[in-house]
Amino acid sequence: MSLLDNAVTSLRLALEDFSSTETGRTLSAIRNLHAGILLLYKEKLRRLSPPHSNEVLIKLRVEFQKDSNGTVISVGAGKKTVDVHQIKQRFADLGIQTNWKRFEEINSLRNDIEHYFSTANKGAMDGAVSNTFLIIRNFIHTELEENPQEILGEAVWAKLLSVSEVFEKERALCQQALSAIDWKSDALAEAVLDLTCSECGSPLVFPSQPTRDPDLQCRSCGAMECFEHYAERAISEHFAGENHVSVKDGGEPVTIKCPSCGQEGYIVEENQCVICGESCEQTCACCGNSIPVSELGDGNLCGYCEHMMNKDD
């Protein structure tokens, strides 16, 4: 069976699991959705692999050989194929386009269900199916240059389409309502758009009122979450990757725990905590230098000047 056939089979099985009322089939549905997309990605790499290279672009291990003319060529070795990280790398090198943000949402949901949620709410599953549909439709059409409806078959296509259309309308309503709130912080306004329900993982969270710092209610499971809880979670999750890269490269974090309220809501660039609204003095009143992020607090001196003043005392 070809990679493409396997991809279609995975998606068909996912939709069967998705439609089932049996407990425990949610995780199977997510796994199959995830697997179906990865198989489509590998199919693209397989098609781009040079002839007689043993499908080198999808193989984890690459060997170098000489052909009959003495030219050195790359050849795939072994049975193991590339993982997500390597697929991303090869797509970037080869200019292959896909919606990695939506893929990461599916990947995150799969991890959440495996580690945190015993069962995912239908709204979270609807989101995964919708993301899958949009990724698959665009990838098959643009990168594989084929008709997605013909590739997937009428039944799979119709199911994906029906779920996606309803869900995307709900998602658009939620995003519009969140965008209309005056969050008093560009960082928070950006972060809440990526927020998912803390109970079921659905991205369909809606403000309870059109005022600043509203509670959020999930339109899938109905769970409510207060501002202080979801704001900290939104900032922490949204900027986790950026913080990691910045610190890894020797820079300062972009968000820190607020020196005033202790929550992970202080945006360094905005010089404010999005949760309690407090700000810190960023310039030392003594030496005039910038106060390092790690030394921000309720004072107006950098660590060195404060040390020297205490020493003089």
pLDDT tens for residues 208-219? 988 888 999 998
Supply the pLDDT for residue 189. Answer: 95
pLDDT at res. 145: 94
Is 286 among the domain residues? yes
pLDDT score recorded for residue 229:
93
More confident residue, 25 or 51: 51
pLDDT of the residue at 46: 95
pLDDT on residue 23: 64
- Is residue 122 scored above 80 in pLDDT? no
User: pLDDT of 137-165, one tens digit each?
Assistant: 999 999 999 999 899 888 888 888 888 88
In this structure, the answer to whether residues 206 and 90 fall within a common structural domain is no
**Whether the predicted pLDDT of 85 surpasses 90:** yes
Percentage of the chain exceeding pLDDT 90: 40
Are 109 and 166 found together in one domain? yes
CA dihedral 284, 288, 290, 296 (to 10 degrees): 0
Which residue segment(s) compose the domain that 212 sits in?
Answer: 183-240
The reply to whether 193 and 171 lie within a common domain is: no
Answer yes or no: is pLDDT of 176 > 90.
Answer: yes
Asked whether residue 191 falls in the same domain as residue 276, the answer is no
Percent over 70 (pLDDT), the chain = 95
> Average pLDDT for residues 245-265, to the nearest whole number?
87
Check pLDDT > 70 for residue 312: no
Residue 249 inside a domain? The answer is no
Predicted pLDDT of residue 288 = 82
- State the Cα–Cα distance between residues 94 and 117, nearest whole angstrom: 37
Supply the pLDDT for residue 221.
Answer: 80
With respect to residue 251, please indicate whether it lies within any of the assigned structural domains. Answer: no
144 and 8 in a single domain? The answer is: yes
d(CA 118, CA 199): 11
131 and 37 fall within a common domain: yes
Burial 263-288 (b: 16+ CB within 10 A, else e): bbbbbbebebbbbbeeebeeebeeee
Residue 34 sits in the same domain as residue 113? yes
Q: Residue 24 pLDDT more than 80?
A: no
Instruction: For 268-290, write each residue's pLDDT tens digit.
Output: 999 999 999 988 888 888 888 88
- Checking if the pLDDT of 193 tops 90, the result is yes
159 plus 21 within the same structural domain: yes
Indicate if the alpha-carbon torsion angle 259, 257, 244, 254 is positive or negative: negative
pLDDT of residue 28: 84
Which band of pLDDT confidence, cut at 50, 70 and 90, is reported for residue 58?
A: very high
Same domain, 231 and 277: no
Same domain, 48 and 195: no
Residues 233 and 281 in one domain: no
Domain match, 283 and 168 both:
no
Q: Return the SS3 of 90.
A: helix
